[in-house]
A = this chain, B = another copy of it.
C-alpha cells in the first residue's frame, strides 16, 4: 500500500528538484529517491529523462495558454470588453503560475536554453501566447478602448512582467523580503501592472 500513484509522486519530485537544481543538474536517481520509487520506473513512465522534461513543460504551457485563450474568446464574443478581458487574462496567468510555482520557475528557466525542444516550444506555445495578447490589444483598438495600438515592445515588456516573479522568486524573497507566493503579493503586483497598462487605455476600470 506504500507504493501508489507513483507517477504523480515522480512528477512532484521531479518538479521540485528541477526547480532547485535545474534539469541537467538533477539525476534520475535523485528523482527516484525523492519519489521513493525505483529508478527504472521513470523510464517506464516517461520513456526518458527527456520525456519527463517534455511532458512537464508542455503540460505547463498548455494550461498557461489556455487561461489566456479563455479571455480572448470572451473578448471576441462580447463588445467593448477587450480591456477587462486583457486584465483578466493577465490575472489568470499570474494565478496560474502562482499555483504551481516550482513548475513555473523551472519551465521559464529551461526555456532560456538553446535546445531543439525549446525551439519547438517557441514556435507553438510562445508564439501562440504572443498572438493571443496581440489579439486582445487589436480588439481593444478596434473597439476604440485604447488610444494607440501598443507596439511589440509593449508586449515584450508585458511578457517579462508576467513571468518575472515566478522566474525569480528567490530574488524577490531574499532581496526584497516579499513573498511572491502570497496572495497579497499578487494583488499588489497585479495592480501595479494594471496601472502601467491602464495608461494606454481611455477609461481605466481596474477591479
- Chain A contacts to B: CB under 8 angstroms: 19-25, 105, 108-109, 111-115, 118-119, 122-123, 126-127, 130, 151-157, 159-161, 164-165, 167-168, 170-172, 174-176, 178, 188-189, 192-193, 196, 199
Are B192 and A114 interface neighbours, CB within 8 A?
no
Give me the 3 closest cross-chain CB pairs, A-B, nearest first: A160-B164, A24-B25, A20-B114
Are A170 and B112 interface neighbours, CB within 8 A?
yes
Interchain CA distance A20-B196 in the complex, whole Å: 33
Interchain CA distance A109-B193 in the complex, whole Å: 24
* With known contacts A119-B174, A122-B174, A164-B160, A189–B112 Cβ distance under 8 A: no
Are B164 and A126 interface neighbours, CB within 8 A?
no
Interchain CA distance A156-B196 in the complex, whole Å: 14
Are B170 and A118 interface neighbours, CB within 8 A?
yes
Are B152 and A156 interface neighbours, CB within 8 A?
no
Interchain CA distance A92-B193 in the complex, whole Å: 25
Q: List 24 A-B contacts (CB under 8 A).
A: A19-B114, A21-B113, A21-B115, A22-B113, A23-B25, A105-B112, A109-B112, A112-B167, A122-B170, A122-B171, A126-B174, A127-B175, A130-B175, A130-B176, A151-B188, A151-B192, A152-B178, A153-B192, A154-B192, A156-B172, A157-B193, A160-B168, A161-B161, A199-B199
Tell me which residues across on chain B come within 8 A of A167, comparing CB atoms: 112
